[in-house]
Amino acid sequence: MASTHSLSTLFGLARLHWRAGFRKQFRRMRTPSGCIFGIIGGGLIASWMGALMFSTGHGGAELKGLMGPAIDPLLQVFLVQCFLTAFAVLSLFSAFNSKGLYLPKGEVHALLSAPISSADLVRYRLLVDAGKTVVSSMVFVALFWGRLPKPGYGVFGLLLALFTITILSRAASLALGNTNLWLGRFFQGRSLGRAGFMIGALAWGGMIFFMVQSDVVMFGLDMDIQERIRSFAANPLVGLLAAPARPFAELVLAKTASGFLLWLAVDVGILALVFELCARSAGEIREATMATSEALAKRLGAISKGHSGVSALGRLKRGDARLRRVPRVFGRGKIGTIAWAQLVGVTRFSLGTFLLCFAVVGFLVMLTVDKDLAGDLGPPDKEMAISTAIIVVLGTMYLGTSMRFDFRTSLTRMESLKSWPLSASRLFFATVLPQALIMTLLLLAGVLSRLALTGVYEPVLLKFLALIPAFVYAWVSLDNAVFLFFPVKFIPGQDGAVHHMGRSILLLLLRVILLTSFGVVLAGTLFLLSLLTDFMGMGAELVENLGFWLVLFGILVAGALFSRLGGLALSHYDVSKSVS
Amino acid sequence: METNSSLLKVSGLSRAYGTVQAVDGLSFEVQPGEILGLVGPNGAGKTTSLRTIAGVLPIQSGEIQVVGRDLVEDPIGAKSLLAWVPDEPQPDENLTVLEHLEFTAGIYGIGDWGETAHELLARFDLTAKADALGGELSRGMRQKLAFAQAWLTRPRVLLMDEPLSGLDPLGIRAAKAEILQMAAEGAAIVLSSHLLKLIEELADRLLILDAGRAVFTGTLEEARASDLADSGGSLEEIFLAATGARPVED
């Protein structure tokens, strides 16, 4: 790590990196489905950004709208300063997750062993980051476009500010990973652990407190809003914290060409200074870089396997207290064996996801119990039916997306799965069964908790309890069948977002069409039944009971059909095709 | 060597990916106790052929019979008689090594598996890793686990794609002995590898694939007696001649 390289050489390397990223995007367009997904996704993103850019009334902190066109220019600058400072603080927090320098899996060994100094390595990565910042800051540009005095000037301010924040975050990561420094040595091999959790909790608590306070400060009715912000800005500590963002806020809000050029020169100077200081302060970061790159690669790998959120953060190791034997609750046959293996994964590695889902179901229960939130839902039986339906339908939708204990985590093992001696339909059923069971248990717990909290029981509840497992299984099997027809390993924040959005919209449409078709058939049958029973002079209770059995039967048929569809998708699944 | 007693019979197997013909009219048989060495350059169609025979990829055209059971008409019956060791085994990251064997026993309907499982763990040097999770295993350990899982099912037909990659010298020696033992017990084995020395050492017959087609089928002796052996008698020279590659001049 000795020789130095000119900035143009490093820029050339970074350009190769950017070009590869774009090429990968365009290559996704070579297949008909890729082309359709890309066009739909691109169209959606463009229309969303267009709507952001050219709409005027979004409320909130709108610079020109909320407080009227006559808002004090100094306050405008202060608001932008606040936004940039908050963004910088959040970015600095993320530095603890990436001590040293994060290098992608394909670069880490090549770059660390290459004859390139640490400073040049940092410069190269910062240049790569610059490209990424341009892409990611497009959202902020769109968000601010219609609110800036001169959008053409303001865009430069936003880009330079966001890139500077990215560099500052990198600098913090480098300091934390630099074993030449006391800070780096202190954090070597250490994570923030409980202390980090406490800091994070305090930060969140502080933010919530600030939001509540700002609600009073900014939107209080007894005092002029601008006056309140002015008094807030007058606080010396606030002024000190927000001061570094001032030059960038001035550029964002520049109105004249001379002002723009002046602040552009100042900001470019700051950026260059921060860039160079960051590169030169790199120090001995190889160990931290290796650790960070490996940890992040592992996490990205877990996410690409379908693990989401907290479940991708940490994995159990041998000897862990939770690594205990899981009973064969589904029997010892082929289906039971596969379902058991799925259940093992849930119990060992998904406590975080599980607790989060439990909390969401709890929230839904509270939503239906709280009279202020739920409103008047009519007589007790109707209230119970509607409340239970809310818990079950919304709960199923959320849990179905968050819990991925099915084919969405099995893509890397499809070669093994397909060689097993059992039919595709049975394999499909066995794989989705534990997911459906766990979701059912969570929802049942929610519905029964509501019963315990309200103390009101209506016979209609029993019917709902019978419908829950069938409904959940039909939902999960449809989700998995659609996924197997159009499988994808997508990592949020990585490439392929445009295609993923197009694909998601199309798949959502497909699900809606399938569910609606089924609902229409079921509703039509119920309508015919009611006509028939009217005609035959049958009582309302009998009709209601018949209707319930018909709905249950219908959902069971739907579940069976979706399972067949899933089996078909599984047998057509081609392991030789890439699904990234 | 084509008789009615073949455990594995492949006839006219073809598979294309779009316009690329990966496998083109491949036919061969493997007898009980025989090891067929499948060799060919990268992209010759070895893995595609093995995946299709294992039932992982659907058959586009052709016929595959495993111990007389047609893979299309009776896929479950055929699959329950064969075992597949892929080139990059992907164990379930949530299950321990021992639980993988329990899982395999459940899938293949093997009742009394415990004792055999522990014996296999010892034979493949996995006893110390019995409680390790699939996600913790190194490349070599994953390979050994795939071996143990395949061995547990006592397959009549064993398909292996690059089975020794990632193994240490001791592991390679143990694996070779196990493969030979499996063949001696009457299993038909198809073994694909770029390690020509390994094929030369283990295989009774050779199947050289090039661009999806079989360019040579027979024993090493037959190859040596053929015009493929003009440039010399080693498998490497035969392979290079059969696939049209020119050996590097010394």
B230, B178: one domain: yes
Nearest Cβ partner for B80 among A315, A338, A421: A421
Residue A83 burial (CB count, 10 A): 19
DSSP, collapsed to helix, strand or coil, labels residue A264 as: helix
Q: How far is A347 from chain B (nearest CA, A)?
A: 9
Whether A452 has a pLDDT exceeding 80, the answer reads yes
Q: Could A419 and B79 be called an inter-chain contact, meaning their C-beta atoms sit closer than 8 Å?
A: yes
> What per-residue confidence (pLDDT) applies to A133?
86
Q: Could A341 and B94 be called an inter-chain contact, meaning their C-beta atoms sit closer than 8 Å?
A: yes
DSSP string, A494-520: SS-HHHHHHHHHHHHHHHHHHHHHHHH
B220, B106: one domain: no
Type of residue numbered A128: V
Collect all residues of chain A within an 8 Å Cβ-Cβ radius of residue B95.
Answer: 341, 344-345
A492 pLDDT tier (thresholds 50, 70, 90): low
Type of residue numbered A324: R
The CATH number covering residue B229 comes to 3.40.50.300
Q: How far is B160 from chain A (nearest CA, A)?
A: 13
Mean pLDDT (chain A) is 80
CA of B133: which chain A residue's CA is closest?
Answer: A318
Domain boundary among B121, B153, B185: B153
B175, B239: one domain: yes
Comparison of pLDDT for B107 and A547, the residue scoring more: B107
A58 pLDDT tier (thresholds 50, 70, 90): very low
ipTM: 0.83
> What per-residue confidence (pLDDT) applies to A108?
81
B117 pLDDT tier (thresholds 50, 70, 90): very high
Q: What is the Cα–Cα distance from B95 to A363, expressed in whole angstroms?
A: 33
B10, B77: one domain: yes
Whether B70 has a pLDDT exceeding 50, the answer reads yes
Q: How far is A26 from chain B (nearest CA, A)?
A: 20
Domain boundary among B113, B130, B153: B153
Domain boundary among B126, B153, B180: B153
A210 pLDDT tier (thresholds 50, 70, 90): low
Domain range spanning residue B100?
89-153
Whether A269 has a pLDDT exceeding 50, the answer reads yes
- For residues A413-442, average pLDDT: 92
B73, B94: one domain: no
Mean pLDDT (chain B) is 90
B170, B243: one domain: yes
Query: Is the Cβ of B108 closer than 8 Å to some Cβ of chain A?
Result: yes
Nearest Cβ partner for B95 among A319, A341, A572: A341
* Number of structural domains chain B divides into: 2
Q: Could B57 and A574 be called an inter-chain contact, meaning their C-beta atoms sit closer than 8 Å?
A: yes
B117, B32: one domain: no
B61, B170: one domain: yes
Q: Could A345 and B86 be called an inter-chain contact, meaning their C-beta atoms sit closer than 8 Å?
A: no
The residues in A 405-434 lying below 8 A from B, measured between CB atoms, are 412-413, 415-416, 418-423
- For residues A390-401, average pLDDT: 89
Cβ-Cβ contacts under 8 Å between A and B: the total is 84
B4, B96: one domain: no
B73, B11: one domain: yes
- For residues B195-219, average pLDDT: 92
Ranges A96-105, A253-262, A311-320, A371-380, most confident = A253-262
B175, B230: one domain: yes
B75, B35: one domain: yes
Of A513, A543, A549, A514, give the one whose Cα is nearest residue A528.
A543
> What per-residue confidence (pLDDT) applies to A66?
46
- For residues A237-241, average pLDDT: 85
Whether A473 has a pLDDT exceeding 60, the answer reads yes
Residues 6 or more apart in contact with residue B216 via CB below 8 angstroms: B206, B207, B208, B223, B226, B228, B238, B242
- pLDDT > 70 fraction of chain A, expressed in percent and rounded: 82
Query: Is the Cβ of A348 closer than 8 Å to some Cβ of chain B?
Result: yes
Of A109, A73, A44, A379, give the one whose Cα is nearest residue A226.
A73
Q: Could B133 and A344 be called an inter-chain contact, meaning their C-beta atoms sit closer than 8 Å?
A: no
What are B80's two structure tokens?
């329950």
Q: Could A572 and B136 be called an inter-chain contact, meaning their C-beta atoms sit closer than 8 Å?
A: no
Residue A370 burial (CB count, 10 A): 10
- Computed from CA positions of residues B132, B135, B139, B142, in that sequence, does the dihedral angle turn out positive or negative? positive
Mean pLDDT lowest among A216-230, A424-438, A487-501, B70-84: A216-230
